[in-house]
Structure 1
Amino acid sequence: MTSHATTLLLVLALIIVLARALGAGARALGQPPVIGEVLAGVFVLPLLIDTGLADGLFPTAIRADLSALANIGVALFMFVVGMELDGDLLRGKGKLAAAVSTACIVLPLGLGVLLAWFLADAHAPSQRTGFFVFLAVALSITAFPVLARILTDRGMQRTPVGSLALTCAAINDVFAWVLLAVAVTLTGQGQGNQWLVLLVFPYLAIMLWVVKPVLRRLLVDRGKLTPGALAVVIAGVLLSAAATEWIGLHLIFGAFLFGVVMPRDGARELVHDKVAELNGVLLLPIFFIVAGLKVDLSAFSTAGFGELALILACAIAGKFLGAFGAARLSGMSTRHSAVLGTLMNTRGLTELIVLSIGAELGLLDAKLYTLMVVMALVTTAMAGPLLAWLYPPSAITADLVAPRRAKTPA
Structure 2
Amino acid sequence: MGTTEIYLLAMVLIFSVPYLIWRLGGTDYYAPLVVVQIITGILLGPGILGRAFPEYYGFVFNPQVITALNGVAWWAVMIFVMLAGIELDLKQAWRHRVESTITAGFALGTPLLFGCVAALGMLQYGGWRGAQSHEWQFVLGVGMSCAVTALPILILLMEKLGLLRQPIGQRILRYASLDDIAIWGVLALILLDWDRVGRQLGFLAAFALATIVYRRLMARLAEQDRWYVALVWLALCALAADWAGLHYMVGAFLAGVVMDAHWFDQQKLDQMRHHVLLLLMPVFFLSTGLRTNWAVGGTAVFVAAGVLLAASVAGKLAGVHLAGRILKWGPGEASIIGWLLQTKALIMIIFVNILLDKGIISSETFTALLLMAIGSTMLTIPMVAPMLRRVQALVLKTG
TM-score by length of 1: 0.87
- Is the CA contact 1:108–1:139 (under 8 Å) kept in the aligned structure 2? yes
Q: What's the counterpart of residue 50 of structure 1?
A: 51
Alignment partner of 1:338 is 2:338:
no
Alignment partner of 1:176 is 2:183:
yes
Q: 2:5, 2:57 → 1: CA distance? A: 15
Alignment partner of 1:75 is 2:82:
no
Q: Which moved more, 1:122-131 or 1:328-337?
A: 122-131
Give the CA deviation at 1:288: 0.8
Q: 1:134, 1:14 → 2: CA distance? A: 32
Cα distance change, pair 206–375 in 1 and its aligned pair in 2 (3 A): same
The equivalences for 1:29-40 within 5 A come to: 29-40=29-40
Q: What's the counterpart of residue 66 of structure 1?
A: 69
Q: 2:356, 2:90 → 1: CA distance? A: 31
Cα distance change, pair 402–334 in 1 and its aligned pair in 2 (3 A): closer
**What RMSD over aligned residues (CA atoms) do the two structures have, in Å?**
2.4
Q: Which moved more, 1:340-349 or 1:327-336?
A: 327-336
The equivalences for 1:104-183 within 5 A come to: 104-122=107-125, 123-126=128-131, 127=133, 128-183=135-190
Where does the alignment leave 5 or more consecutive residues of structure 1 unmatched? 404-410
Letter of the 2:107 partner, please give it: C
Where does the alignment leave 5 or more consecutive residues of structure 2 unmatched? none
Q: What's the counterpart of residue 99 of structure 1?
A: 102
Q: 1:252, 1:271 → 2: CA distance? A: 23
Letter of the 1:384 partner, please give it: I
- Is the CA contact 1:316–1:379 (under 8 Å) kept in the aligned structure 2? yes
Give the CA deviation at 1:212: 1.3
Q: What's the counterpart of residue 391 of structure 2?
A: 395
> Equivalent of 1:359, from 356, 372, 381?
356
CA displacement, residues 167-189 of structure 1 (integer Å, 9 cap, x when unaligned): 1111110101100111111xx4x
Cα distance change, pair 113–343 in 1 and its aligned pair in 2 (3 A): same
Give the CA deviation at 1:153: 1.2
Give the CA deviation at 1:266: 4.4
Give the CA deviation at 1:373: 0.8
Cα distance change, pair 252–337 in 1 and its aligned pair in 2 (3 A): same
CA displacement, residues 340-399 of structure 1 (integer Å, 9 cap, x when unaligned): 11111101111111111111111221222111111111111101110122222x633x44
Q: 2:267, 2:329 → 1: CA distance? A: 38
Q: 1:212, 1:257 → 2: CA distance? A: 13
Higher relative contact order (CA 8 A, sep 6+): 2
- Is the CA contact 1:125–1:363 (under 8 Å) kept in the aligned structure 2? yes
Alignment partner of 1:255 is 2:259:
no
> Equivalent of 1:199, from 183, 193, 202?
202
**What secondary structure, in the 3-state scheme, does the structure 2 residue paired with 1:390 have?**
helix
Cα distance change, pair 270–196 in 1 and its aligned pair in 2 (3 A): farther
- Is the CA contact 1:89–1:170 (under 8 Å) kept in the aligned structure 2? no
Give the CA deviation at 1:27: 5.7
Aligned residues: 390
- Is the CA contact 2:45–2:291 (under 8 Å) kept in the aligned structure 1? no
**Overall identity of the aligned pairs, in %:** 24
- Is the CA contact 1:207–1:258 (under 8 Å) kept in the aligned structure 2? no
Cα distance change, pair 194–302 in 1 and its aligned pair in 2 (3 A): same
Q: What's the counterpart of residue 41 of structure 1?
A: 41
Alignment partner of 1:349 is 2:346:
yes
The equivalences for 1:323-334 within 5 A come to: 323-334=320-331
Give the CA deviation at 1:44: 4.2
Q: 2:234, 2:95 → 1: CA distance? A: 30
